[in-house]
Amino acid sequence: MIKGISKQIIEVQDTQSQYYEKAYFVVRPEFSAMEQALLEREARRIVRQAGAPSRFRKTLTKQAVIAAAGTVFLIAGGVLAYGSVSGWFG
């Protein structure tokens, strides 16, 4: 089931970083009424402070991506197995 979600997102397109092309920030609901310029300045400040990915973070991210992909394939396999047993596919 998918629920409709309405979030305010700030996109920083010019990160001035050799590592990051774009950055996205999801504004907390309690701050969504703040002045847009202030939120954008804070987003740019955070992007400027972000440096190169650390070796630890890269390894951890890689492991997280592999785990997520494994989970997706496991779920997809379960759906296909259930579908073939229950006659979904003819």
Q: Note the pLDDT of residue 88.
A: 67
Q: Is 23 exposed, middle or buried (0-12, 13-18, 19+ CB in 10 A)?
A: middle
Q: Nearest CA to 16 among 41, 48, 42, 46? A: 48
H/E stretch holding 76 reads helix 55-86
Q: Note the pLDDT of residue 25.
A: 92
One-letter amino acid of 77: G
Mean pLDDT of the chain, nearest integer: 83
What's the CA gap between 53 and 14, in Å, rounded?
18
What percent of the chain is modeled with pLDDT above 70?
A: 84
What's the CA gap between 33 and 40, in Å, rounded?
13
Q: Note the pLDDT of residue 64.
A: 87
